[in-house]
């Protein structure tokens, strides 16, 4: 009996160490993902399944590298960059990183506002204010009570998101053969390339790359001994696989939901229209669960986005501003867009395209830092990981260049 308890305790302790990747993963199922994935499925059916699968595999590798950087060095990625860049370059890098974080926040607040409109009929502008206020409360909780309670709330919201966006697949399952065909890499015109870039920007999130090093470091501290490093890195791998596995299932599930129920259906080019079509096809219960999932997505992801913005500023500028002031400032662009009556789904998709252009600025420094033995010691990347990350960077840059060319040429 004693032996059995003894063998269970290390496993239980290991489970308690999970969490940072699950918080980072909320960035991968935010309202921007909803807009991009529903649009992709409604317009192109199963065509772009391969984009989401590839993006999720990329995200898993990248997020583990960010967490490993924080655990091995005891520093966040923005802190390490801040120490290495000259003042002018450091400020320029901070500016683009903050713009990326702002684009993320834009999508999350708008998505939450849409959800409140669908659930309660609230005006979008008022919904944006409510989402901002709730996110302030979550951030205040993190500041007051620490990371663990914050993690629990965000993970709970992640569970709601997963149920909300996958439930419809059990009512009307997708075709297995069509899913397999969707795993074959291909495009269908410039519009599908634009959506692929949007999906990539929504799935491989630059601000999540920056913040995961902070989440892992803040939870575990620096791994001082070789045994500590081995143990924490093993737990972190499990954490990342579980978290990104959930995010991947949710993202693919959203696209399949649209491919099965929204293909060739009129007025599904917006989240509100897609919600109505889902209700018509699957019933009001599934539509309600979908809207609740969207709301949970907006509330959780905007809180994580603000956490990321604070990490970026503290690391690169060595400055901190009160969390409520930061939340208020980053809320303004979303409220302006909602107040002007801009199509919210269009704003979501474009924000994700913008995010895809920020990915190389996060990936290239991460690659250089985790390859550097002076930074990582014996945990520096080996040949295969160096090669894989290098290919990822090249593919992202090529996709973005293709996107620019196709957009300009029409």
What mean pLDDT is predicted for residues 200-216?
85
Residue 280: per-residue pLDDT: 93
Residue 410: per-residue pLDDT: 57
Whether the predicted pLDDT of 91 surpasses 80: yes
Residue 321: per-residue pLDDT: 81
Do 249 and 166 touch, CB atoms closer than 8 A?
yes
With pLDDT > 90 as the criterion, what percentage of the chain qualifies?
Answer: 49
Whether the predicted pLDDT of 7 surpasses 50: no
Q: Which helix (H) or strand (E) holds 228?
A: helix 226-261
Least confident of 48-52, 64-68, 322-326, 403-407: 403-407
pTM for this prediction: 0.88
Could you count the other beta carbons within 10 Å of the beta carbon of residue 153?
Answer: 17
Domains identified in the chain, total number: 1
Whether the predicted pLDDT of 237 surpasses 80: yes
Residue 67: per-residue pLDDT: 95
Whether the predicted pLDDT of 85 surpasses 80: yes
Least confident of 169-178, 215-224, 292-301, 304-313: 215-224
Q: What is d(CA 44, CA 358) in angstroms, rounded to the nearest whole number?
A: 26
The domain in which residue 317 lies consists of 2-409
Q: Which residue has the tokens 């993690």?
A: 151
Do 24 and 243 touch, CB atoms closer than 8 A?
yes
Residue 14: per-residue pLDDT: 52
User: What tens digit of pLDDT does each residue of 302-321 get?
Assistant: 888 888 888 999 999 988 88
What's the gap between Cα 25 and its chain centre? 6
Do 378 and 400 touch, CB atoms closer than 8 A?
no
Q: What is the CATH number of the domain that holds 164?
A: 1.20.1740.10
Whether the predicted pLDDT of 5 surpasses 50: no
Residue 300: per-residue pLDDT: 87
Q: Is 264 helix (H, G, I), strand (E, B) or coil?
A: coil
The per-residue DSSP string of 6-30 comes to HHHHHHHHHHHT--HHHHHHGGGGS
């Amino acid at each position: 009996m004693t032996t059995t308890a003894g063998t269970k305790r290390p496993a239980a302790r290991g489970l308690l160490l999970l969490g940072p990747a699950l918080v980072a993963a909320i960035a991968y199922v935010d309202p921007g993902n909803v807009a991009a994935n529903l649009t992709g499925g409604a317009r192109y059916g199963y065509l772009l399944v391969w984009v989401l699968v590839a993006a999720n595999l990329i995200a898993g590798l990248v997020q583990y590298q960010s967490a490993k950087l924080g655990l091995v060095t005891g520093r966040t990625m923005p802190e390490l960059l801040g120490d290495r860049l000259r003042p002018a370059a450091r400020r320029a890098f901070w500016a683009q990183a903050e713009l990326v974080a702002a684009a993320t926040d834009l999508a999350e607040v708008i998505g939450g506002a849409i959800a409140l409109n669908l659930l309660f009929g609230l005006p979008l502008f008022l919904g944006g204010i409510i989402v901002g206020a709730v996110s302030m409360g979550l951030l205040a909780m993190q500041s007051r009570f620490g990371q663990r309670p914050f993690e629990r709330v965000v993970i709970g919201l992640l569970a709601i998101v997963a149920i909300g966006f996958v439930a419809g697949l059990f009512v009307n399952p997708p075709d297995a053969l069509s899913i397999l065909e969707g795993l074959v890499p291909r495009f269908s015109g410039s519009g599908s390339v634009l959506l692929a870039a949007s999906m990539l920007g929504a799935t491989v999130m630059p601000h999540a790359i920056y913040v995961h090093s902070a989440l892992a470091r803040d939870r575990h501290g620096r791994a001082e001994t070789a045994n500590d490093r081995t143990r924490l890195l093993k737990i972190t791998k499990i954490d990342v696989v579980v978290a990104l596995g959930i995010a991947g299932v949710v993202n693919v599930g959203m696209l399949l939901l649209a491919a099965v129920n929204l293909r060739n259906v009129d007025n599904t080019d917006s989240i509100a229209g897609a919600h109505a079509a889902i209700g018509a096809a699957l019933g009001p219960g599934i539509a309600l669960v979908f809207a609740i999932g969207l709301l949970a997505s907006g509330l959780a992801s905007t809180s994580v986005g603000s956490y990321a913005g604070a990490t970026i500023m503290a690391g690169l500028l060595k400055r901190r501003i009160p969390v409520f002031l930061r939340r208020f400032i980053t809320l303004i662009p979303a409220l302006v867009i909602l107040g002007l009556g801009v199509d919210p789904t269009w704003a979501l998709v474009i924000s994700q395209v913008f995010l895809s252009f920020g990915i190389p600025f996060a990936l290239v420094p991460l690659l250089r830092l985790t390859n550097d033995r002076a930074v990582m010691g014996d945990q520096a990347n080996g040949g295969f990981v160096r090669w894989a990350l290098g290919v990822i960077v090249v593919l992202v840059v090529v996709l973005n260049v293709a996107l620019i060319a196709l957009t300009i040429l029409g």
